Structure 1
Amino acid sequence: MQLTTAPLLTPVAPGVVGVSEHAAIAMLQQTVELLAQIDGDPTLLEIPGNDAARVDQLTLLERVKSAAAAAQTRITDVFERSQLSQQDAAIEEARAAGREGRAARLSRSRGKGISDQVALARGCPISQGQRQLAQARALREMPHANDLFRAGRICEWMVDELVRETAILSAEDRGEVDRRLCAMTVDTKTGQIHDPEVLGLTPHRAAGRARALAQELDAEAAVRRAAKAAQQRRVTIRPTPTTMSYVTGLLPVRDGVAVIASLNSAAESAKARGDERTVSQLMADLFVQRITGHPARGDDEAGRPDETGRPDEAGRPDEAGRAEDGRVADPHVPVQVNLVMSAETFAGDSDQSARTDDGTPIPAGLARDWVHDPRTPVTVRRLLTDPVTGQVSELDPRRRKHSAIDKEFFRLRDQTCRIPGCDGPIQDIDHPERYADGGTSTRGNGQGLCEAHNLVKEAPGWSTRVSDARPGHHEVEITTPTGHVYRSKAPPALFRDKERADLPPPE
């Protein structure tokens, strides 16, 4: 296919859309037309060996999407500056003409309508137009993230997360987070050049890393942010199209963890006593019962005849919340929250963030308050990490299954599903190298996976192996049916700056 472009000429006059701008529009239109032709030509579907190329196309198109989003952000930035410049000129013109009343009115409305125009151009809600403006402004202070975004190496979602998590910082501190996460670095000992740290993270984990850095750079602002967030706690309801509803509680993390853990514990106990409902159904029914004091309606609007013509069992008094002797089980049971922090943070000698076992960063001061607060409704256990290596000892490698303590270790080490790009909660502990194939039940041959990825790895054509089993360096290699290889490194227990310096600019 041959593409032609309009000649790039000089604009006809300052402030007037000239030929070069029209040429840019023409090129964008041609790009859209070109992409429309990349449709996985049906005539090629029967030809073996094309699927690997299609996967490569998917990867590259993700970069195209990100680069296009970055271009939108740059244009939004220039558009806002241009609009503000025109508005300022109108204000000065009114003042020069002695029309102070008009100048005052124009000053009060300065900036208004810009986000509305952005939203109309993108066909999105006004809130998204406002977010786009905020993102464009923030990226002025984050040049490294902006460069990665323009190259299509990080997505718009990740940029949104980085901007949001650094919003509490000064421009200087925001730039520091940008440098530490998004700049290329060189190892001061080996001279080896490393890609920006953010490229090895999902948007969710990048947000956590940025939040942890923000908490360390401005600990007081982080505590103020947490206190302000606690004031926003609430419960909301949102209907679904299927006569169901989402009841959402925005709670401090300790309370949220305690709620889920308490419901899960009671649901597991009910399952152990033979209740046929799933754990998820039991948790939902217990949620209703504990708040309202009445049994949940459950399936088919409980108590109504279902398709079998018999009343639903959920209409009967619920047994899930009862102890084995028939008494109502006490829901106010201590719930363990794993809080990982360095010894220095625990002693008050460092502002390095702690984290919960799912990777959520907690400001150092707040974490210490949790540990020492006698009124806390949950039990906080301190898991102090080795400040040098973080290494752990191996246990008996000849067991068929991982022990309970090993499973807890994997959940604390991996935090979320280990498959690249997945932030799902860990549901299963897996042997990357299967026991049936000679894999051992050691901490080097274990990983946490979500339920879906634990199942898909058993599908034909998939394989996994441990490429690095050293403590502190655990890496798994995943090979897909098309032959593509993906690598997954376990995240650090706590983020620490490596002995690296910024890569010097090219001469």
Structure 2
Amino acid sequence: MDSIPMRSGDHPGEDAPRQGVAAPSGDVLEDVLGRFGEIEAGPAARALVAQILAAALMSFTRTRAVRDPLPDTAPGSAEEALAVLAGIDHLRASLAAVDATWQVAAEERIRRDDAARGVPASQQGRGAGQEIALARRISPVASSFSQAKARRLVQNMPGAVDRLWSGAMTDQQASAISGALDGVGADTCRRIDDHLREHPEFLQGKGFKRLQSDIRDLVRKLEPETSRERAERAARARHVRMEPLEDGMARVTAVLRGIDAVGLMHSLRTRAESLRASGTKDSLSALEADLLVEDALRTAQHDEHSTGPDRTADDAGTTRPERPRLRPGLDVGIVITDTALLGREDDAEIAELEGYGTIPAHIVRDTLLGRSPGHVRSCEDEHPDEVVSAFYRRLYRSPRTSELVAMESRARAFPAGLARMIRWRDTTCRTPWCNAKIRHSDHVVPHHRGGPTSFANGQGLCARCNLLKEHGLWVLSPLSRSQTGSDGPDPRTGTGAGRSGPAHPDPSVPPGAWIWSSPHGAVGTSPTPPLITPWPDPPPEEDDHDDPGPPGTSPAR
């Protein structure tokens, strides 16, 4: 279907947002419907388009969250704006019902195709999640959770799907209900579906957390005999995760047993209050964070020159936790230019912290110098921590391409040094839309098909994506940097906008991107991330006329 041109000024209301559907003549809605009527497609495709049009019509004429639906509001009024927002939310719920139905249909069709290709029954449909994720432009993990929720709703809760379609349930409520029923038997799901049908007031005004809590209460009442099993399953799912934040900070979250979590927080709060009572000026929350890091890294402390106590005091007598010392075997990968590490102190320089992402280079310098990150250089009352011992390995980049000098091995497995270079370069799983942590070093072109064990042919993948990449006829095509163009590559053709030429002219240099194509036609682009992207570009030094040699990077650990 051709795209519908967009033009401002076609909506009623002088102050309406300027996004409209251009109409050559006559009424806008009639012209758009006429374009839909010209679609050349099979009955199933036309039925789907009709279903979506019906959802849009219902959303703005039978809106539930406002007094007056859109047709009954005055153009340019506040009521009109609220009716539009309520209609969009209603439409989002209806489309979520369509989306859930088609996720299940796509999974079943891929499983059917696997059976037709002779794939063993235990493997049929195994790669469906990867293909669906690529088509929906989300991570495979997020797609897996979404598929499980959609399967639970469509197969066991038809009443909930109907309420979602009609807008009586929001998309967030459907997600909360399905998530709360994870691991619950099909019979219990059906009984809860019946409860929602018989008691529509059960959903009224309930947000995500409240609704999940109420659904879990129902599960406990309907399945008291599985309480221990659910508790054991939940305990096995405990974990710790890190989320990078701005300005060199990060958020670490942990899912723990409730009793352990309460004990942990009580201990941190008691000790932080004790430090505050002794004169420490930091906030309680900051002290709790420091104590948590100290406790976690206590087993990593190994400094044969250290004989001091667990607490240090500054010149004013303020007691603060001693900064944990990292033992030499605890590696933290940092990629930083030598000029940023050893040269001028330019706060615009950045570094790459393994497992985190970009970080201001001054934080790395301050940490290695034993200073608190973010310190003011003019301060005279700095209290440096213990000396941090670091090991530097200098890696040179090509003066022409600015890429790291390629490494290659004749072995099938990636050597540790090469695997680390790939991990530093890729930072997260290279599957399009997947942001999971790298667990495996993968041959883009498989080794059994002649792919070399090289920096250019290597990529970092999470365990899930690496295992499922070989399931089905996945094709990865290289795209050179010159082909990407200013508009980016076209994943359907593997070429950039208006570009031509060999896809990968230099086999020793990683391509600009890999185009992933799934067995059933989903496509996505995985650009090769630059090792370090300085922005803004540092100004040239007018007094330096010497040849600086090839630019370098210095991973520190």
- TM-score per shorter chain, which class? 0.3 to 0.5
TM-score (norm: length of structure 1)? 0.46
